[in-house]
Structure 1
Amino acid sequence: MNFVQAIKSCLGQYATFSGRASRSENWWFFLFQVLVMLVASMFGDVVYGLASLALLLPALAVGTRRLHDIGRTGWWQLLLLTGIGFLVLLYWWVQPSEGAGNIYGEPPAV
């Protein structure tokens, strides 16, 4: 999946927490978020806050779908609230996709 496809997929599934997301989809969307936040910060705090709120739900959704792809539940994202939990999630997010036999029983994302 390339950059544009990943952005279309993530924004098209704005609040879809079911299914799977490939590593490329997750990381391309992460890069998109970073770029949007950098540009938004140049326009002030209000624009930055609005951009952050607009991208929060799709970021959580793609993170959940990525966790589904490795056989974990999306609730593990609550580890982000602990600070150190980001490192655990980062490790999981870079793992290769699990086969179709995971607990969600859906075919792997392409």
Structure 2
Amino acid sequence: MTTQTALSAPLYGASFPQAVSRFFRKYATFSGRASRSEYWWWVLANTLVAVAFNALGPVADPQWDSRPVNLLSPFAAGGSFPLASPVGVAFLIYATAILIPALALTWRRLHDTDRSGAWFFIVFVPIIGAIVLFVFTVLSARPAGARFDR
């Protein structure tokens, strides 16, 4: 018999499909918590999507190598604007569509470590901020993080 975790609660030990499904079902939910598995399975799924776009890029645009999709910053245009190819346009639409839910997921992951979601903004501190945010998302859950549940 399987017990189903409420959508409002973090799903510890989430599988890949469960994590992706919960990512979209909790599209703009900033309250509550997200388990490590929910967060990192989504990071893997998102990375695979970006890799797929980069694999399709050269097929649609021979100049793709001069402007591949940046995995860390999909909105960075590099030497050329990504709208110069259909794959770049598709990726820009995808990146825009997942911007809010990705921020919400990170916010909930920080809650699970008993930190305010506002810690996300530390990412704007050059180099150190990204490292600190990475460490926070890797940390295990703290029971006191339940204070962020509603």
The aligned residue for residue 38 of structure 1 is 51
Look at both structures and tell me which one has the larger radius of gyration over its CA atoms. Answer: 2
Partners of 1:63 and 1:33 lie apart in 2 by: 13
Ranges of 4+ aligned residues in structure 1 off by more than 4 Å: none
The alignment's TM-score, normalised by the length of structure 1, stands at 0.87
The percentage of aligned residue pairs carrying the same residue is 38
Whether 2:125 is the aligned partner of 1:82: answer yes
- By percentage of residues, which structure has more helix? 1
Higher relative contact order (CA 8 A, sep 6+): 1
Secondary structure, in 3 states, of the residue corresponding to 2:19? helix
The aligned residue for residue 96 of structure 2 is 53
Q: Choose from 51, 59, 64 the match for 2:107.
A: 64
Contact 1:10 1:62 in 2 (8 A): yes
- Cα distance per residue 1:11-63 (max 9 Å; x no partner): 10000000000000000001111111222342421111111111111111110
CA RMSD across the alignment = 1.7
Deviation at 1:105, TM superposition (A): 5.2
More off after superposition, 52-61 vs 4-13:
52-61
Partners of 1:80 and 1:105 lie apart in 2 by: 21
Question: Which consecutive unaligned segments of at least 5 residues does structure 2 have?
Answer: 1-13, 58-86
The alignment's TM-score, normalised by the length of structure 2, stands at 0.65
Question: Which consecutive unaligned segments of at least 5 residues does structure 1 have?
Answer: none
Whether 2:17 is the aligned partner of 1:4: answer yes
Amino acid at match of 1:19: G
Q: Aligned residue pairs: how many?
A: 106
More off after superposition, 80-89 vs 6-15:
80-89
